[in-house]
Amino acid sequence: MIFNSIDFILFFLVITTLFFFSKPKYRWTLLLAASYFFYMYWKWEFIFLIIFSTLIDYYCGMQMSGKDQKRERLPYFLISLFSNLGLLFLFKYLDFFTQSTNVLLGTAIPMANLILPMGISFYTFQTLSYSIEIYQSKSKCEPHLGKFALYVSFFPQLVAGPIERASHLLPQFQTNENRLRYHNVVSGLTQVVLGFFKKVVIADTIAIYVNSIYGTYELYTGFTLLFATYLFAIQIYCDFSGYSDIAIGCSRILGYDLMENFKQPYFSKSVTEFWRRWHISLSTWLRDYLYISLGGNRKGKLFTYRNLMLTMLLGGLWHGSSWNFVIWGLLNGIYLAVEKRTNFNRWITEQSRAIQLLSMVMIFHLICLTWVFFRAETFAKTIGILEGIFTTEYFFNLQIKDTGVFATLLITTVSFFLLEIFILRNINIKNLDQQLGTWKLTGLKVTMCLFILLFGVSEGSQFIYFQF
């Protein structure tokens, strides 16, 4: 079941109605059943993987909570670590490493060809963060199995995040005394509409053009390929942040608070700032549990650069079992290491607004370079696209086959920039109703709904990050 479908809208209306009419002590049961149904709607067999991860981490958490010494907690932490990473490796990376081994060693090891369970990277990292924090004595275990299971599988953020910490989300499930509040409904509904606007009006419309160009890149000039890359940067942002907006908005209507996952990343003046604004729940996860565990910046400059590179390499691999994702992570690691070495972040904050604006443009292009690796299916296709972009012959010949699609692209892209720059840039969306006022907010929602009806792609395409 995907958010941009009639099925989900009806599902959410039914669950919300039952939630507020049910007794508080039964609400966790309703939400857990709804979450399992939500996931099983896609492929019912894979619910057993979530249940397995839940039981393993619940057991390990309970065992660790009764141990005072870290060495006593270590065996149970390792059980949790290897169980979760083992599942992730089996379903996501086994064929990748098998294929790489066959190429490097000339072997003929057969491929497993297992179906990748939707959202496995997200709920695996979520349960791992729970075990890590208990092992490090930063959090207490959750003794209630049902509420812990709900933390692992809460349906709004189950398949594409945000990756929530137990210390933030679990306490919200312990009371279940949420009331139907006007502010939560207005604020949450506004964010849901914004998410749908980003997804079906902007991301899915742009996807038609990007898929066409990247699918037959040999036929296009450099500027056309570059233009498609710019569009993909907007597409992936609107697709993923649109999902996050819908997840956060739906949760807020129910009375639950999820962490913010995007803060207008393309306004960043450095790559470091970009990663503080992009996929925040993953970037902070990698920072807290991987970069700092490797030593962070505590052991000198060379170790700092190494830790940055390893963190981003593994972050790239988290996104998918492909060398393109590894290179994508490597490029981001190089960017971060160079900024660290040159102290670029401090330097840019002291510069004039004109210099900072130029820096934004430069950072956007550096990020777009990495998006080519992210979007292209193979390394060979990536090289072909990059060669096409950097070919000067007929570079400025923008090839447009369907003027209708291009006109829609123009309208939706301009509306995206107007929304980002003039409405959302300096506003906390949780308090949008208070900051804009009733009439402006109503006008904004009506306008976005009209755009959804007039320009929205109605096929209900899957969100990009569902594949991760």
Residue 338: which residues within 8 A CB-CB, separation 6 or more?
344
| Cα(367)–Cα(278) distance, integer angstroms | 11
Are residues 246 and 12 in contact, defined by beta-carbon separation less than 8 angstroms? no
The DSSP result for 375-425, as a single string, is HSSSHHHHHHHHHHHT--TTTT----S-HHHHHHHHHHHHHHHHIIIIIIT
Is the N-terminal amide bond of 162 cis, ω within 30° of 0?
A: yes
Residue 337 is predicted with a pLDDT of 93
| Cα(155)–Cα(378) distance, integer angstroms | 32
One of 168, 183, 279, 319 is an active-site residue; which one?
319
For residue 320, name the pLDDT band (cuts at 50, 70, 90): confident
Residue 261 is predicted with a pLDDT of 92
Tens digit of pLDDT for each residue in 191-237?
999 999 998 888 888 888 898 889 888 888 888 899 899 999 999 99
| Cα(144)–Cα(284) distance, integer angstroms | 27
Question: What pTM does this model have?
Answer: 0.91
For residue 410, name the pLDDT band (cuts at 50, 70, 90): confident
Query: In the block, which residue shows the tokens 């709004």?
Result: 156
Tens digit of pLDDT for each residue in 148-161?
999 999 999 998 87
From residue 396, alpha-carbon distances to 160, 208, 411 in Å are 38, 22, 22
The answer to whether 319 is a known catalytic residue is: yes
Residue 310 is predicted with a pLDDT of 93
